[in-house]
Structure 1
Amino acid sequence: MKRKNLGTKLVAAGLTAALLLTGCGGNSSSGQATGSTGEGTTQSAGEEERPTITVAVSMNEKGEYSDANYAIKYIEDNTGVNIEFVQLPSEKADADTKLNLMLSSGEYPDVICYGMNKQKMVKFAKEGIFVPINDYIDKYGDNMKRLFEARPQYEQLSYAPDGNIYGFVTANECYHCQAYPKLWYNTEWLEALGLEEPQTTEELKEVLLAVKNSDYNGNGKADEIPLTGSKDWDCQLEWYLLNSFVPVDKDTLSHVEDGKVVFSCNTEEFKQGLAYLNELYTLGLIDPTCFTQTSDQMQQVIRSDKNLVFGYTADHFAMGIDLDDAHLNEVTAAMIPAEGPNGARWQLHKDYVDMTDGFSWFITDKCENVEAAFKVGDFLMGDESSMVQMYGEEGNYWGKLDTPTESILQGTEAIYWIKPGFTSNEDDAYQKNTFWSGLMNQLAEFRASMSPRPEDMYVSDSYEARLFDETAKVVPYFYPEYLPKNLFLEDDTDSETFTTIQTSLREYVKTSIAQFATGEMSVEKDWDSYLKALEKYDVETYVSLYQKAYDVYAAQQ
């Protein structure tokens, strides 16, 4: 058969251009591509002939890509389809080059199991390389339809402009990552002051003043730091505080209101937020270094004296305190957002749709049995299939609990156990019996089903459970309408223009916030000049393009 030598033909063709694609699955590096049945659909004696599909995948050098791999044999036996693998290298740049070679030469397999963004997916669909799968979803897509029902935003994201779906959207959800940053504070310190968690921005200011004058560390100096943050990761204090005035984040600089994209950083509410930042800064309630220090430097300050810093913004609280200090772990908590003078009270929010790795499992026009290829892809999204892909045979690294129990995600149950302590990269048996396709069920609820709630919440091993609990406090303050950060613009010129404007705007607004907060610029005197400068960055075009992309996304609801 032609398929027998497909991998060799593709290597021989050679091409230097690389695609802007993202890797598929998890562990991947170079390995040997071996088909599970060798000669196409040839079967052992007495075995009913079943179809074979060829699949390009980035390979793990320690892995096994034949039916000697328990996970691959499990997939084949449960779908009735044999899989013959075509190697993509482990290094992304090399894999991009080889994939470009395949697609440009016309010598490519039935399925591309390799992650890519929507722009690339639509490009290859327009070229006729990827085939639409809408009809197959309707007939055979039990797991994909289940995903779309649980997360309608993934279905919205999946449609190309022509109304077709050309790839399997990949979920990679992290429950606590939805709320970055949180404001982490010392509850014991607050109790020692006889105060309660602040509910408004004015109450927050009063709490911070009390902190500043408390001499909590007992050294006789007013050196306590009420609030700090850092410039990297999602640790920026300023964006957290501004959400008590207007919904805004450092990526979009905008929000959506009644379906309309609104640029947040030229509004009267934004101006009020800047004035509040300046007031706190002038009163000595914001650490002057928070606009310039790194998260590592912030952590060093916080850990230098556990009674020095009252509150800090960070993705998770171990970016500040030492988790091995069980008592400090117990008294550290996330503060709910304070309500501003206009009623704004938002927690910075990143929806699951912005955590996706994009798309994978693209069925090409070379595939003679699209139904079989689709069924395999959909099967890979199932619960038990996901466990086998990630952990191999049941009973070795995973299994089912005798009795379901409370999980770390409120309202869900844990039904699986995972072998504690093993490190997959050091376990050859694990490597040779798993297959990280990238299509596994990675919804937050399913991931929590592998994590029973621990008895002791204040040891380092219980860290994720603590993060889940603290996140649950702030979820009610998520934006009522969410503006995705990574929307699709079909026209390449529009996409390039949008990216260029956004990059410039982000830098200008970030710098201006710090200048307004520290008093280098005056909210009263320099606001108009700030607005005029914004106009030069073409905010109008930015909003117009964002609206265009959002309308396409929202139209799929």
Structure 2
Amino acid sequence: MKKTGFLLLASALLVSLLAGCSGANSKKEDPAKNDPKPAENNPATEQKEAAYPASFSYWVGLNGNVAATLADYSELKVYKKLEENTGTKVEFKHPSTDPAQAEEQFNLMIASGNYPDVIEKSWLVSGKGPDALIEDGTLIRLNELIDQHAPNIKKYLSEHPEIEKMIKTDSGNIYAFPFIRGDNELMVFFGPIIRQDWLEKLNLEEPATIEEWEKVLTAFRDGDPNGNGKKDEIPYLLNYRNVRSGATNELIGAWGIAAQFYQVNGKVMYGEIQPEYKQFLETMQRWYKEKLIDPDFAATDGKLQDAKVTGDQLGSLYTYNGGGLGKYTDLMKDKPGFKLIGVSHPSLVKGEISALGQVDKPYTGLGAAITKTSKNPEQIVKWLDWGYSEEGNMAFNFGIEGESYEMVDNYPKYTDKITKNPDGLPMAQSLSQYARSTSNGPFIQDIRYLEQYLQKDTQKEALKKWSQAKNEIVLPPITLTAEESKRMASIMGDANTYAEEMMLKFIMGAESLDKFDDFVATMKSFGIDEAVKIQQTAMDRYFAR
């Protein structure tokens, strides 16, 4: 028995030794052949041993909070840290900050065939859908690359199948590394704000209906609330692109519709051909004529908006909780009595809740995709996957430990450099020097960011008020087939240009609303009814996934 035991032990040791030698020699000759599923076998080791790209190009919109102090994303501390970790030099390319121009630049870039290696944008609002872009050779299908080279996002998706459903097309393609909002409270961040000190000076209540809004704006125009003895107040700054954007829905929800596609009890509708849209335009036209709306609203960009708020001229607008309400409160902290508050999305009837405000989904189509011309997609996948690791999550949400945050009782607490910036920067801008939590990107947004970002009671109260909107008519994050995308691009390219142009003409009175039926007929001539059917089919497919 002792002899048998010794022989068995010797045999086991010999087999183990031979296996070790064989493995070492095999890995030396061909690592991939002997480790076909490194991410699945040992995610930590694979991540550490990953061969990252030496360099690549990255096309992404430059967030306004970043642009306030930095030239481009290469100056962001999170990307400096990523370069230190991986040795990868990224050439960032930023399109216009104007959304319409940026989309036009994207389309021209795609048409030219001269692509960067990575493109980050919202893919569900593009003329072509993700399936079409994969089919025509613009983007790479990522499913297999993620399975083999991206252990962090792969693990997250396996634990969150509802998110995996959202980031895939109906064909099953994963086309981008997604921006994911990791908590329900992160999904409401935009709405109407108003000068409370002006309301108090003129003895007015917060407006809750469109009629009450008109009364307040009229008082702002006539009551000299800034007290300078001049009639220079701008009651309301309308952002017409926010009206047409399904992400923001400025004011339009009071009429029970969205400007573009929405659904009622499972039936897809298009807002700009509905009678309620004409009613909205009638109100906006009257407000514009009576100087309740900024006469320069169509030409006002972010910098001009900032100047009008900080110049003590602007009474109300739609904006972000952190990058608007919080930012302006900080910038005006030395102005005696200055106070902004958030108010509820208005309705038409007193006591009713607005049908639509702003609410995000965990995933809205925003993500970083890899183009077909990329020479090293496997390495770029590994680079992008870092954002979903524990280290990447901390860096993208909080920046650099010891500089922008400290761990206090196992909680990443922002430092005074962020919350009480010595240069007087608002938190939205100071944090944007370090992290991308204020500007989205390929990572999972952390609720602990919001818990500190909304420092002020007015911000927390605004979140509660903005969250009251029903938002039941919002479409899910549907995707289109390649053929549907081509047809939608053909229809909506002309329709969107015409609709935006006519919105401005109607509001400014350059076109009579007696021509609204002609406007609807023209929109239908572009194929809007067909576009509604395409969206309906895609929504039905989404719910059947």
Evaluate the alpha carbon distance shift between residue 139 and residue 377 of structure 1 in structure 2; reply closer, same or farther with a 3 A threshold. closer
CA contact (8 A) 1:175 1:468 kept: no
1:530 and 2:526 matched: no
Evaluate the alpha carbon distance shift between residue 401 and residue 265 of structure 1 in structure 2; reply closer, same or farther with a 3 A threshold. same
Evaluate the alpha carbon distance shift between residue 121 and residue 288 of structure 1 in structure 2; reply closer, same or farther with a 3 A threshold. same
Partners in 2 of 1:357 and 1:276 — Cα distance? Answer: 37
Evaluate the alpha carbon distance shift between residue 443 and residue 129 of structure 1 in structure 2; reply closer, same or farther with a 3 A threshold. closer
CA offsets 1:440-469 (integer angstroms, 9 cap, x no match): 7422415336x3775xx4xxxxxxx86565
Evaluate the alpha carbon distance shift between residue 208 and residue 349 of structure 1 in structure 2; reply closer, same or farther with a 3 A threshold. same
SS in structure 2 of the partner of residue 309 of structure 1:
coil
Q: 2:317 aligns with which of 302, 312, 319?
A: 312
1:336 and 2:349 matched: no
Q: How far has the Cα of 1:233 moved from its partner?
A: 7.4
For 1:273, the equivalent position in structure 2 comes to 280
SS in structure 2 of the partner of residue 227 of structure 1:
coil
Relative to the length of structure 2, the TM-score reads 0.61
Q: Which amino acid aligns with 1:505?
A: A
Partners in 1 of 2:81 and 2:297 — Cα distance? Answer: 51
Partners in 1 of 2:306 and 2:258 — Cα distance? Answer: 26
Q: Which amino acid aligns with 1:155?
A: E
Partners in 2 of 1:389 and 1:286 — Cα distance? Answer: 38
Evaluate the alpha carbon distance shift between residue 392 and residue 39 of structure 1 in structure 2; reply closer, same or farther with a 3 A threshold. farther
Evaluate the alpha carbon distance shift between residue 350 and residue 520 of structure 1 in structure 2; reply closer, same or farther with a 3 A threshold. farther
CA offsets 1:356-391 (integer angstroms, 9 cap, x no match): 3145799x9x99xx9xx9999988634455326888
1:400 and 2:407 matched: yes
CA contact (8 A) 1:132 1:164 kept: no
In the TM superposition, what are the counterparts of 1:89-488 in structure 2 within 5 Å?
A: 118-119=130-131, 120=133, 131=144, 141-146=154-159, 148=160, 152=162, 154-163=163-172, 169-171=178-180, 182-218=191-227, 220=229, 222-230=231-239, 240-249=250-259, 253-304=260-311, 306=312, 308-315=313-320, 316-317=324-325, 323-327=331-335, 331-341=339-349, 345=354, 346-354=356-364, 356-358=366-368, 381-384=388-391, 386-387=393-394, 398-402=405-409, 441-448=443-450, 451=452, 454=455, 457=456, 467=459, 470-477=462-469, 479-483=471-475, 487-488=478-479
CA contact (8 A) 2:254 2:345 kept: yes
CA contact (8 A) 1:56 1:113 kept: no
For 1:516, the equivalent position in structure 2 comes to 506
Q: How far has the Cα of 1:294 moved from its partner?
A: 3.5
| Structure in which a larger fraction of residues adopt helix | 2
SS in structure 2 of the partner of residue 527 of structure 1:
helix
CA contact (8 A) 2:262 2:271 kept: yes
Relative to the length of structure 1, the TM-score reads 0.60
Partners in 2 of 1:513 and 1:478 — Cα distance? Answer: 25
1:495 and 2:493 matched: no
Unaligned runs of 5+ in 2: 1-26, 33-41, 58-72, 75-79, 96-108, 124-129, 424-434
Aligned-residue Cα RMSD (Å) equals: 5.5
Q: How far has the Cα of 1:395 moved from its partner?
A: 6.1
CA contact (8 A) 1:215 1:221 kept: yes
CA offsets 1:309-362 (integer angstroms, 9 cap, x no match): 322334424787771434579611122111114956132444442263145799
Evaluate the alpha carbon distance shift between residue 59 and residue 188 of structure 1 in structure 2; reply closer, same or farther with a 3 A threshold. same
Evaluate the alpha carbon distance shift between residue 71 and residue 540 of structure 1 in structure 2; reply closer, same or farther with a 3 A threshold. closer
| Aligned positions, number | 440
SS in structure 1 of the partner of residue 144 of structure 2:
coil
CA contact (8 A) 2:344 2:465 kept: yes
CA contact (8 A) 2:167 2:365 kept: no
CA contact (8 A) 1:170 1:360 kept: no
Evaluate the alpha carbon distance shift between residue 270 and residue 184 of structure 1 in structure 2; reply closer, same or farther with a 3 A threshold. same
Partners in 2 of 1:527 and 1:114 — Cα distance? Answer: 39
Q: How far has the Cα of 1:224 moved from its partner?
A: 3.3
Evaluate the alpha carbon distance shift between residue 418 and residue 389 of structure 1 in structure 2; reply closer, same or farther with a 3 A threshold. farther
Q: How far has the Cα of 1:401 moved from its partner?
A: 1.1
Q: How far has the Cα of 1:257 moved from its partner?
A: 2.0
SS in structure 2 of the partner of residue 288 of structure 1:
coil
Partners in 2 of 1:385 and 1:333 — Cα distance? Answer: 34
Q: Which amino acid aligns with 2:348?
A: G
Unaligned runs of 5+ in 1: 1-36, 43-47, 64-68, 75-82, 103-111, 405-413, 424-433, 458-464
Partners in 2 of 1:40 and 1:156 — Cα distance? Answer: 36
CA contact (8 A) 1:385 1:440 kept: no
- The structure whose RCO (Cα within 8 Å, separation 6+) is larger is 2
Partners in 2 of 1:227 and 1:265 — Cα distance? Answer: 22
For 2:14, the equivalent position in structure 1 comes to none
CA contact (8 A) 2:181 2:361 kept: no
Evaluate the alpha carbon distance shift between residue 208 and residue 536 of structure 1 in structure 2; reply closer, same or farther with a 3 A threshold. same
Evaluate the alpha carbon distance shift between residue 495 and residue 418 of structure 1 in structure 2; reply closer, same or farther with a 3 A threshold. farther
Partners in 2 of 1:296 and 1:376 — Cα distance? Answer: 34
Q: How far has the Cα of 1:172 moved from its partner?
A: 6.8
Evaluate the alpha carbon distance shift between residue 161 and residue 132 of structure 1 in structure 2; reply closer, same or farther with a 3 A threshold. farther
SS in structure 1 of the partner of residue 444 of structure 2:
coil
CA contact (8 A) 1:132 1:166 kept: no
For 2:495, the equivalent position in structure 1 comes to 505
For 2:540, the equivalent position in structure 1 comes to 551
CA contact (8 A) 1:321 1:329 kept: no
Evaluate the alpha carbon distance shift between residue 168 and residue 39 of structure 1 in structure 2; reply closer, same or farther with a 3 A threshold. farther
Partners in 2 of 1:166 and 1:298 — Cα distance? Answer: 36
Q: Which amino acid aligns with 1:243?
A: G
Q: How far has the Cα of 1:187 moved from its partner?
A: 0.5
Q: Which amino acid aligns with 1:552?
A: R
Partners in 2 of 1:140 and 1:282 — Cα distance? Answer: 52
Q: How far has the Cα of 1:71 moved from its partner?
A: 7.9
Q: Which amino acid aligns with 1:183?
A: P
For 1:28, the equivalent position in structure 2 comes to none
Partners in 2 of 1:167 and 1:101 — Cα distance? Answer: 19
CA contact (8 A) 1:184 1:335 kept: yes
Evaluate the alpha carbon distance shift between residue 169 and residue 247 of structure 1 in structure 2; reply closer, same or farther with a 3 A threshold. same
Q: How far has the Cα of 1:262 moved from its partner?
A: 0.6
